[in-house]
Amino acid sequence: MTKKELSGRLADARHYAAIATAFALPLSTSAQAIAVSIFAVLAIVTLDRARFEATLRMPAAWLPVALFALIALGTLWSVQPTFGLAAKWIGPYAKLLLIPLVMATAITRRQALQIGYGFLAACLILLALSWASFLWPTGPWTWFKAPGVPVKDNAVQSGCFALCAFGLAFGALRIWGIDRRRAVAMGALALLFLADVFLIYLSKTGAIMAAALLGLFLLHIGGWKRTMLVGMPAVIVVAVALLASAPAQRRLAEIGTDISASQGTVGGGETVSTGARLDFWRKAVDFVKAAPLLGHGTGSIKPLYQSLEATRPSPYGEATPDPHNQTLHVVLQLGLIGGALLWAMWIAHARLFLARDMASVFGQAIVLQNVIGGLFNSHISAVTQGMLYCLAVGLLGAMVIANEKKL
């Protein structure tokens, strides 16, 4: 086997690992970890050094590395009693290193579509199971994680479904003048994904992200007539789903109850999620004031909240390791310097995707979803949402960079 043949086979294996990673993301954390590890090794082995160095000169590539480096350095001033306890919190941000790696990987448009199809295929499996459990509630669904949610949780599923709805709707818009039958089928499938988010098991954060992506989609349609023509069916689907879904109405009604619960010490889980967030955020403001510049160090979040449990107990009944806000997750550990790096990274990624080609528009959706989701959860440090963001930004960034070089 010649060196060229070996290089080609390694590149093919890297591509198959990327498809496997995309397929595993919505389905299995373990499979996701195995697939992305294989992909990362193959990406490093097949890396073009000159291309990687050129990519690292871009803010969209080096800012994630800088944020990770600061997380690692944050162990030096952590309030955790030992280095080992602090160091384990570096791991959730290690995925940021995938952004420049994937961005520097040579990926063709066809390969990018195949990776996207892998993600869509997994989501279609979940969609079919979710709707089947809704239409046949007495079926064999006892193994589901929650009603209508076969695996992982409703926040992950609704986020993945919202992205699929956006991608299918935008794809349908692009091919409307070429293949209307296919466009109609894609549009109908997009509405099924969207309806599932609001009808079967409503995630409040997922619903907000889906609404934001719907707004982004309407912005790209162009012209108020087309916006009304396309937007009205989506709005009707969402409204009908909310009105027809007793679980959705119940979860919306919980918001007021949750806020009231945050004023006391009501125990519970999901039923006090909104109130718990408000409690976390109020306490976080005090923590930031105590160490505004560099924060309290990596891994300091749970010890900080634990210090207040005796006098200001959490609605959950125990200290949290997560303030359920991505900015606070960084600022509590790394101070305003870390928060500035986080937002600089988001802005750099948003600027990378300012064009109106398909890769850029999908990139806009990924960044918007992560920023909106980051208001209510720590999505970058989360296993699935964070990995999805890093891999998607890297992949779509590689496509945008390749397109710019062709111009």
Q: What is the mean pLDDT of residues 345-371?
A: 96
pLDDT over threshold 50, residue 407? no
Q: What's the pLDDT score for residue 43? A: 96
Write out the two tokens for 162. Answer: 């919202």
pLDDT tens figures, 83-136: 888 889 999 999 999 999 999 998 999 999 999 999 999 999 999 999 999 999
Long-range contacts from 231-238, C-beta under 8 angstroms, 24+ separation: 233/191, 234/169, 234/191, 234/194, 237/191, 237/194, 237/195, 237/198, 238/194, 238/195, 238/198, 238/211, 238/214
pLDDT at 257: 58
Percent helix / strand / coil, the chain, rounded to 5? 75, 0, 25
Dump pLDDT digits (tens) for 202-243.
788 888 899 999 999 988 887 777 778 777 877 887 787 777
Confidence (pLDDT) at 253: 67
**Residue 270 confidence (pLDDT) above 50:** no
Q: What is residue 276's predicted lDDT score, i.e. its pLDDT?
A: 81
Domain residues of the chain, as ranges?
A: 1-46, 49-104+248-407, 113-244
Write down the pLDDT at residue 406: 54
Q: What is the pLDDT of residues 163-211, one digit of tens each?
A: 999 999 999 988 988 999 999 999 999 999 999 998 887 788 888 899 9
Instruction: Tell me how crowded residue 136 is: count the other CB atoms within 10 A of its CB.
Output: 10
pTM: 0.92
d(CA 171, CA 217): 11
Integer Cα distance of 30 and 62 in angstroms:
28
